[in-house]
Structure 1
Amino acid sequence: MAKPKIGVIIGSTRQGRFGDKPAEWIAELARATGDFEVEIVDLRDFPLPFFEEPASPAWAPSQSEVARKWQEKVASFDGYIMTAAEYNHSPTGVLKNALDYAYNEWANKPVAFVGYGGVGGARAVEHLRLIAIELQMAPIRTGVHIVWADYAQIASGDKKVADFPHLVQSGSDMLSQFAWWVNALKSARDASLEADKAAAE
């Protein structure tokens, strides 16, 4: 049986961003569990315009070609882990925009967060959990929060994320919870598809 496929989404596109470091770390940690097929997804590869569609993708196909490519990428995963920078107590605009540019593709899948910033990105993650619920995702309770003292040492190159035992423990706990939800919701989605096929015959 094929392993569930998860996307690790780098939630920032700015020059000199920090998000690559936790994204690569959590992707490596996820691969090491043996539970998932893992792909890092860089929002720089999907230069979405500021949302300007005539209707939400929940109600009408997107006109933007890059939006349709983004939706196809989102649809290819069974769950998501997002890095969450905190800008003025909120997630980045580019990540919120990317979330808005899909709808059905997110539904009934789990999402987990690796936050970073002054309070470990906690306020941005709280916002993202509310957005995820509206998009019919299942946000995982346990997350990783890289506080400023740890962030500064990682950003400077003095240490790596993996050098902090408390972050490794948080990542392992999050992935354990995440794996349960990935498998549970994948089974439920597969069963629903089979029921729909049977009803159509």
Structure 2
Amino acid sequence: MSNPTLQVIVASTRPRRVGRMVADYIGERLADHGGFDIEMVDLAEVSLPLLDEPHHPRLGRYEHEHTKAWSATISRGDAYLIVMPEYNHSFSAPLKNALDYLNTEWRGKPVAVASYGGISGGTRAAAAITEVLVTLGMIVSSVGIAIPMVQSHLADGRFTGYPQADHTIEATHAALLELTHGRNAG
């Protein structure tokens, strides 16, 4: 039996971003714990235009190839970890746009948030996105990752991690695994 797929969604699309470094580190730690096949989904690579579908996403009547491809990508996921920065005490526009493109693809699937930023570690952004995720019908984990002062954990083009981050990655992994198996059992 194959493992469920956990998609790690990199929500920052900004040039010179640290999000991909953070996501790569978290993805490696998640893979170390096993139980999931990890797939990186980078919104900078997906490059969705501002929502341009003429029909409501819940209908699934996608007209554009970029939307069909995005739907196919997200449909492969059994659970998600959104790695996101905090911009002005909230989440990024590309993340909201990517979420809004789809509807039924998200419904009923587990999700956790890994936020990063300055002193708050992106916790305000994580709180702000939670309502959106709940409205999409996702099963939002009460366990997540917050990385304060993210710049202080970068060296040689990589996120270096630290014991507290590793502990919260492990706890988030366990929570997502439990939610995913509970969803698949029911």
Give the TM-score normalised by structure 1. 0.87
Partner in structure 2 of residue 19 of structure 1: 19
* Structure 1: unaligned runs, 5 residues or longer: 189-201
Label 1:166 to 1:4 Cα distance change in 2 as closer, same or farther (>3 A). Answer: same
Partner SS for 1:113: strand
Mapping of residues 53-72 of structure 1, within 5 Å:
53-72=53-72
1:94 and 2:94 matched:
yes
Kindly tell me the number of residue pairs found equivalent between the two proteins: 185
Partner SS for 1:81: strand
Mapping of residues 93-132 of structure 1, within 5 Å:
93-118=93-118, 119-132=120-133
Partner SS for 2:113: strand
Partner SS for 1:29: helix
Shift of 1:81: 0.5
Label 1:14 to 1:186 Cα distance change in 2 as closer, same or farther (>3 A). Answer: same
Q: Deviations over 1:138-173 (max 9, x none)?
A: 11111111112xx122235498443x1111111111
Partner in structure 2 of residue 143 of structure 1: 144
What letter corresponds to residue 132 of structure 1 in structure 2? L
Q: What CA distance in whole angstroms lies between the structure 2 residues aligned with 1:186 and 1:113?
A: 21
Partner SS for 2:80: strand
What letter corresponds to residue 133 of structure 2 in structure 1? A
Q: Larger Cα Rg: Structure 1 or Structure 2? A: 1
Partner SS for 2:124: helix
Shift of 1:84: 1.1
* Superposition CA RMSD, Å: 1.5
* Structure 2: unaligned runs, 5 residues or longer: none
Q: What CA distance in whole angstroms lies between the structure 1 residues aligned with 2:12 and 2:108?
A: 24
Partner in structure 1 of residue 151 of structure 2: 152
Partner SS for 1:9: strand
Q: What CA distance in whole angstroms lies between the structure 1 residues aligned with 2:49 and 2:176?
A: 31
Q: What CA distance in whole angstroms lies between the structure 1 residues aligned with 2:42 and 2:151?
A: 23
Shift of 1:51: 1.1
What letter corresponds to residue 27 of structure 2 in structure 1? A
Shift of 1:178: 1.1
What letter corresponds to residue 76 of structure 2 in structure 1? S
Q: What CA distance in whole angstroms lies between the structure 1 residues aligned with 2:17 and 2:88?
A: 16
Which structure would you say has the larger RCO, counting Cα contacts within 8 Å and 6 or more residues apart?
A: 2
Label 1:159 to 1:27 Cα distance change in 2 as closer, same or farther (>3 A). Answer: closer
Partner SS for 1:58: helix
Partner SS for 1:89: coil
Higher helix content, 1 or 2: 1
Label 1:56 to 1:157 Cα distance change in 2 as closer, same or farther (>3 A). Answer: same
**Percent of matched pairs sharing the same residue:** 31
Deviation beyond 3 Å, 4+ runs, structure 1: 155-161
Q: What CA distance in whole angstroms lies between the structure 2 residues aligned with 1:158 and 1:100?
A: 32
Give the TM-score normalised by structure 2. 0.94
Partner SS for 2:57: coil
